[in-house]
Amino acid sequence: MPELLLLDMQFDEGEADTLCGDLESLAQSVRFGGDRERALAQLRRFQGVFLAQCARKLAFGGPIVLFGTLPSQQAERLVATQAPLRILEGLLFEPVREALLWASELVGVRSE
């Protein structure tokens, strides 16, 4: 099992059946009312969240760095329920470096 996960939030490419999450259940939910295309767009847009949740269900306990944007309340809830997890908006070097240092400290990797 890996010691740390780096996840992109959005997955625009690839087959629907390779995405994490239950597309059919999501499509049949009240929110999507059977609209499979809208549900698929949601799975793609928030695939990083689904992957983080799946990793935790599979007992992955290492740090997760998620690259993407979420509304603040959703981000706070995700960080609280899927810890240790950090969400980075954009790919600015300094926050990426800080997040990788944070993750390496959690898994005991020494930076040189």
Lookup: tokens for 35: 């609209």
Q: Which amino acid is at 75?
A: A
CA 102 vs CA 35, 56, 88, 106: distances in Å: 40, 19, 13, 7
Look up the pTM and report it.
0.77
Q: Tell me if 112 is assigned to some domain.
A: no
Which pLDDT score, from 0 to 100, does residue 90 have? 64
Number of independent structural domains in the chain: 1
Which helix (H) or strand (E) segment is 38 a member of? helix 36-45
Q: Tell me if 71 is assigned to some domain.
A: yes
CA 92 vs CA 67, 89, 103: distances in Å: 10, 8, 17
Q: Tell me if 57 is assigned to some domain.
A: yes
Q: Tell me if 100 is assigned to some domain.
A: yes
Q: What is the dihedral of CA 40, 41, 46, 48, to 10 degrees?
A: 60
State which residues form the domain around 43: 5-107
Chain segment 44-97, per-residue pLDDT in tens: 999 999 999 999 999 999 999 999 989 999 999 999 999 999 998 866 667 777
Per-residue buried b or exposed e for 7-20, using 16+ beta carbons within 10 Å of the residue's own CB: bebebeeeeeeebe
Q: 7 pLDDT exceeds 60?
A: yes
Q: Tell me if 70 is assigned to some domain.
A: yes
Instruction: With both helix axes pointing from N to C terminus, report the angle between 36-45 and 47-57 in degrees, rounded to the nearest 10.
Output: 70
